[in-house]
A and B are shown apart, each in its own frame.
Chain A
Amino acid sequence: AQTVTQSQPEMSVQEAETVTLSCTYDTSESDYYLFWYKQPPSRQMILVIRQEAYKQQNATENRFSVNFQKAAKSFSLKISDSQLGDAAMYFCAYRFQGGSEKLVFGKGTKLTVNP
């Protein structure tokens, strides 16, 4: 079974600084997707960024970028120029490309942004 591990229950960063959230996963599949979701206190999950496993180039969305290491099964999220609005729970998720294509989530990392 696929598993996703986020080893940092909590992280904090100063406003305008950079922070990296870690994620590792376990799978025997070769075709899959990885995601980072943001969940603010309002509870609405919002997709931050996605990465296709077959792509070697790391995905980037404005201030958010990932470091995808397929061999190491590692998928970290870097947030640059952190803003107060970035404070939230961040979940790493995996989806196998096949079957029901359901999302498997990690336990999350709570990010605090200090002014």
Chain B
Amino acid sequence: EAGVAQSPRYKIIEKRQSVAFWCNPISGHATLYWYQQILGQGPKLLIQFQNNGVVDDSQLPKDRFSAERLKGVDSTLKIQPAKLEDSAVYLCASSLAQGLEQYFGPGTRLTVT
């Protein structure tokens, strides 16, 4: 069974630029999560999808971050414009359903200069 796929693995951008990350969850997984992991901290949930609907986006900075999950499969997370404090690893995870075990992807390391 293929795991959660993410791309790119690394991205370096200048502040005020925009960037997008892509996530392909495990086949059949209805729930998808995006986490932000700042260096030295644990992951923090940004947004959670159930199929293509948003379940929780309470910690998503909506003035600059957006996410979508079209057709309830792949998802993209966008930052526009990026700030220095957005430098972090962005992890995508999926689970068969809400409340079940989450499987994580390898993450995308973003550096904003």
Contact = CB atoms under 8 A, between A and B. Distances in A.
A105 B106 contact: no
B43 A45 contact: yes
- State the majority secondary structure of interface residues on A: loop
Interface string A87-98: 000010101010
A28 interface: no
A104 B98 CA distance: 15
B25 interface: no
A45 B42 CA distance: 11
B45 interface: yes
Nearest to A106: B42
Contacts of B94: none
B62 to A, nearest CB: 17
Interface in A81-115: 91, 93, 95, 97, 99-103, 105-108
Interface residues of A, number: 21
Contacts of A4: 42
Given A42-B106, A44-B105, A45-B91, A102 B42 contact: no
A100 B104 contact: no
Contacts of A105: 42-44
A102 B56 CA distance: 8
B48 interface: yes
Nearest to B57: A100
A97 B44 contact: no
Contacts of B45: 102-103
Interface of B: 3, 33, 40-45, 48, 55-56, 89, 91, 93, 98-99, 101-102, 104-107, 109
The 5 residue pairs across chains A and B that have the minimum distance between CB atoms: A105-B42, A100-B56, A45-B104, A43-B107, A101-B99
